[in-house]
Structure 1
Amino acid sequence: MKRRVASHGQHFLRSPRVAAILLGHSTIRRRDTVYDLGAGSGVITSALARRCQQVVAVENEPRALDALRRHTAAVPHVRIIAADIRQLVLPTEPYKVFANIPFALSADIVRMLTTAPTPPQAIYLIVQRQFASKLVPSDRHFTAALGAQLTPWWQARIRYRLRRTDFTPPPAVDTVLLELLPRTEPWLPHNQQTAYSQFVAQHYAEPRRFAALPRAQLGINPERKPSELQPKQWVQLYQAMQMK
C-alpha cells in the first residue's frame, strides 16, 4: 500500500503493523464509528476496519482513491468519501477520528474538528512533534495560540513517538500520535468558545493590547510573553475582561 507523498506534506505509514500499534494507544473500540481523514491507499483504514464497526475513509487524490477502493472492496463496513478534508461535512451522530493528516493542514484540521457543531468523541492525529508540543501545556514547551484556544475544552497529550522509517517517504521531522479528548468538565461554557478564541488570537497578535491586560492584578508575571502564559492564565484574563 505504498505511494508517493501527496500535496500538503503528507507521508504514509509503511505497514499495517505500525497502524495496529498506534491503534493500541487509542480509545477506539468495536462499537465506534471512526473517520480516517486523508486515508491514502488505506493502511490505517484497513487497520480500523479490523477493530471497529464502521469506518469512513476520506480521500481526494484520484490514484489514492483507486487504491483505497481496491484494498477495501471486500469490507462492507468501510465507506469512502471522495472529498477534500477541509470541505468535509462532519456527522451529527457520535464518531471518533483517527488519521495520518497532511502536516501542512494540521492547524486547519484541528480547528475544524474541535469547533464542529458535533465534535468527535476522541481525536487521534499523526502530526509533527513540534506542532503537537504547541498544543500540550507544559513549562518546557511553547504553547501556541491554538493550544491556548483549545485547552478550556480539550485535553491534549502525545501518545506515541514514531520513527521516521515508519513512513514512506520518510519525513525530515519527528512525528507523534497526538490525542485530543474533550474535557468532562470544561473550564468555560461551550457557547463562549468563539469569543474566547478571538480574545486569545487578538492578544497574541497585538502586543499593545496584550500589555494592557491586568496581569499583575491576577498574580501573573507581567514580564511573560503571550506564548509563556499557561492556558488557565488565559482563562483568568478572559474572565476578568468579561467582567469589565
Structure 2
Amino acid sequence: MKRQVATHSQHFLRNPRLIAELIGHSNIRRGDLVIDIGAGSGAITAVLARRCRQVLAYENEPGILNKLQQNMRRHKNVKVIAQDFLLAKLPDEPYKVFANIPFHLSADIIRKLTNNDETHTPQAIYLIVQKQFAQKLVPSDRHFTSQLGAQLAPWWQTRIRRPLRRTDFTPPPAVDTVLLELKPRSEPLLSTLERDEYQSFVAKCYASQKAFAAVPRAKASINPERKPSELTPEEWVRLYSMS
C-alpha cells in the first residue's frame, strides 16, 4: 500500500520525536493492540512498539516491505503483514488504529474501519490525513460536511487533534495535513442495524437535489434552504426517521 513517490499521495514522517508526540495525543495505552496501515519502513511502527502490547503493521509494496521486515526484527511485539489492508480481515479482539495513510485511500480506509459489526470495530482511530478531508468529516457550522462525514456521524465522533507542518514529511506534501481522531460514540444516535439503510438515505440526498427536496425538512424543523452539507448529525437522524 505504501509508495515512496508523491504521485501515490505517500508522504513519510521524518522525526521519531514528532511521531511520539503525535501518539501522545492518542488514547493508546500499554496493553493495546494497534494497527499501522501502510507502515512503510516502520517509523511509526517502531514508536508504537514501545508504547503498546502489539502492533500489526500492514505493507504490501515489495520495494519497501523487505526494509520494513528488517527494521522490525528487533521488535518482538510487531507482526508485519504483507497484505493490502483494504483486503484484510480485521482483528476479533479489541484494537486501535494509528497510521499515516496514503491520502488517496483515506475514505476507503475509514469506511472499512467504521462499517463493521461491534466485534471488529476499533476502539479508536488516529489517522494522518489531508486537512480539508478531515474538516469535512467534523460536523461544524464553520464549513460543509461531506457525505462520508454525515454517514459516520450517528456512530462516530470526529475531531482534529493536531495540525502538522509540510516540512514534517518527506517528500513534503502540497497540502496541509492533520492528525484526525475518530472514536465510537458512547451513546449512538442510531442502532447499527440501521446503518446500511441510513447511509443509503444520506447518499441519495447528496447525489440528487430532487431526492433531498422530497424529504420532509419542514416537518423536521429544518430550513428548506439548507443544503445536505449544512445539516447537523441530529438533523440527519430526524430526517431519516421521518422518511
Normalised TM-score (structure 2): 0.96
| Residue aligning to 1:96 | 96
Q: Quick one: distance in 2 between partners of 1:187 and 1:42?
A: 38
1:107-132 CA distances to partner (integer Å, 9 max, x unpaired)?
Answer: 00000000123110000000000000
Instruction: Find runs of 4+ consecutive structure 1 residues off by over 4 angstroms.
Output: none
Q: Is the 8 A contact 1:5 1:12 kept in 2?
A: no
Correspondence for 1:152 among 140, 154, 159: 154
Q: Quick one: distance in 1 between partners of 2:164 and 2:88?
A: 27
Q: State the AA in 2 paired with 1:195.
A: E
| Residue aligning to 2:235 | 233
Correspondence for 2:145 among 140, 143, 146: 143
| Residue aligning to 1:175 | 177
Pairing 1:37–2:37 present: yes
Q: Quick one: distance in 2 between partners of 1:6 and 1:76?
A: 32
Q: State the AA in 1 paired with 2:131.
A: R
1:80-138 CA distances to partner (integer Å, 9 max, x unpaired)?
Answer: 00011211111111000000000000000000000123110000000000000011000
- Aligned partner of residue 46 in structure 1, secondary structure: helix
| Residue aligning to 1:187 | 189
Q: State the AA in 2 paired with 1:196.
A: Y
| Residue aligning to 2:71 | 71
Q: Quick one: distance in 1 between partners of 2:83 and 2:139?
A: 33
Q: Quick one: distance in 2 between partners of 1:198 and 1:98?
A: 28
Q: Quick one: distance in 2 between partners of 1:6 and 1:97?
A: 23
Q: Quick one: distance in 2 between partners of 1:51 and 1:141?
A: 35
1:53-97 CA distances to partner (integer Å, 9 max, x unpaired)?
Answer: 100000011121111111111111000000112111111110000
Structure 2 portions without partners, runs of 5+: none
**C-alpha RMSD of the superposition:** 1.1
The count of residues paired between Structure 1 and Structure 2 equals 239
| Residue aligning to 2:114 | 114
Q: Quick one: distance in 2 between partners of 1:15 and 1:58?
A: 21
Q: Is the 8 A contact 1:59 1:83 kept in 2?
A: yes
Q: Quick one: distance in 2 between partners of 1:121 and 1:128?
A: 22
| Residue aligning to 1:165 | 167
Q: Is the 8 A contact 2:6 2:171 kept in 1?
A: no
- Aligned partner of residue 234 in structure 1, secondary structure: helix
Compared with structure 1, are the counterparts of its residues 108 and 197 closer, same or farther at alpha carbon in structure 2 (3 Å cutoff)?
same
Normalised TM-score (structure 1): 0.96
Q: Quick one: distance in 1 between partners of 2:207 and 2:37?
A: 30
Q: Is the 8 A contact 2:30 2:52 kept in 1?
A: yes
Deviates further, 84-93 or 32-41: 84-93
Identity of aligned residues (%): 64
1:200-223 CA distances to partner (integer Å, 9 max, x unpaired)?
Answer: 001110111100111112210101
Correspondence for 1:203 among 201, 205, 220: 205
Q: State the AA in 2 paired with 1:200.
A: V
